[in-house]
Amino acid sequence: MNQLPDEAAAPPRWGYRRAARRAGMALAAALWLAALILGGSESGFDKALFSALFAGDDGVLARNAALITHLGRWLVLTPLAVAVALFLVFKRRMRAALLLIIVFGGRMLVELQKMVVDRDRPGASPWLEAQQSASFPSGHAANATITLVAIAMLLPLRQSHRALAVGIALALALQVGWSRVALGAHWPSDVIGGWAFGLLWVGICMRLASDRPEA
C-alpha cells in the first residue's frame, strides 16, 4: 500500500514538514479572511493596488494578460484535471478520485462564496466583456491554484521533483491572478482571497486523505 505524498511515517523531519503545512494552512486562512473583510470597493488599499496593476491604456500589457488569463478558465483547467485523473487511474486510483474531489469540490465552494459574499466588481473594463458573477473570490485565481497545485501534489513524482512541480504550479497561479487585476476583472483582494482559499482547500483535502492507504 502506498500513501499520499509526504505522509509515510518515517524520519522525524516529517514532523517538521507537517507542522509547516499546518502553519501554511493557518496563514492561508488568515489571508482569506483579511481579503474578505478588508477588501472591496471601499478599501483604499484595494483601490491603490488596483490602480498600480490595471493595464489601463497599455494594449501590450492587456494582450499579455488576456493570454495568461485563459489558463484559469474552466475550458483549460477541467480537461487538464480529467486527463490527469485518467492517467492516475492506472497508477494510483485513490489519487485520481481525490484529484477530482479537490478540483470540482473546490469549484463549487468558490461559486458558493461568490453568491454569499456578493461583492461588486471594479466596474466596466475596456479589455473584457461585462462580468456577470460576483467578485470575491476570483474564480480564475482560486481554480487555477486548486487544479495546478493538486496535480503537482498528486502526480507520482520524486520528492525533489514534486517541489519543482508545486513551484511551477504556484508561479502559474500567481500569473493568472495578476492577469485578472490587469484586465480590470477583480480587485486585488479578490485574487488574494482566491489564492488563499485554493491553497487552504488543497491543504485540507490532502490532510484529510493523508492517512488513507491507496488501493
Q: What is the average per-residue pLDDT within 203-215?
A: 74
pLDDT at 77 over 80: yes
**pLDDT of res. 181:** 95
C-alpha span between 80 and 98 (Å, rounded): 15
Q: Which of 94, 149, 186, 188 is catalytic?
A: 186
Q: Which of 140, 144, 150, 196 is catalytic?
A: 140
**59 or 36, which is more confident?**
36
Every domain of the chain and the residues it spans: 59-127+141-210
- Set of cell numbers at residue 104: 470540482
User: What separation in angstroms does the CA of 102 have from each of 67, 105, 112, 138?
Assistant: 26, 5, 15, 17
C-alpha span between 61 and 51 (Å, rounded): 14
For 83-101, write each residue's pLDDT tens digit: 999 999 987 788 999 999 9
Q: What is the average per-residue pLDDT within 195-210?
A: 93
Mean pLDDT of the chain: 88
C-alpha span between 62 and 93 (Å, rounded): 41
**pLDDT of res. 159:** 79
Minimal CA–CA distance to 168: which of 150, 183, 148? 148
Whether residue 70 lies in the annotated active site: no
Which of 2-11, 25-34, 130-139 is the least confident region?
A: 2-11
* Contacts with 193 (C-beta within 8 Å, 6 or more apart), sequence order: 31, 32, 35, 36, 39, 136, 137, 138, 142
C-alpha span between 24 and 18 (Å, rounded): 10
For 155-179, write each residue's pLDDT tens digit: 988 878 888 999 999 999 999 999 9
Question: What 3-state class would DSSP assign to 133?
Answer: coil
What pTM was estimated for this model as a whole?
0.88
**pLDDT of res. 17:** 73
At residue 76 the predicted structure's pLDDT band, cuts being 50, 70 and 90, is very high
At residue 213 the predicted structure's pLDDT band, cuts being 50, 70 and 90, is very low
For 105-155, write each residue's pLDDT tens digit: 999 999 999 999 999 999 877 777 677 789 999 999 999 999 999 999 999
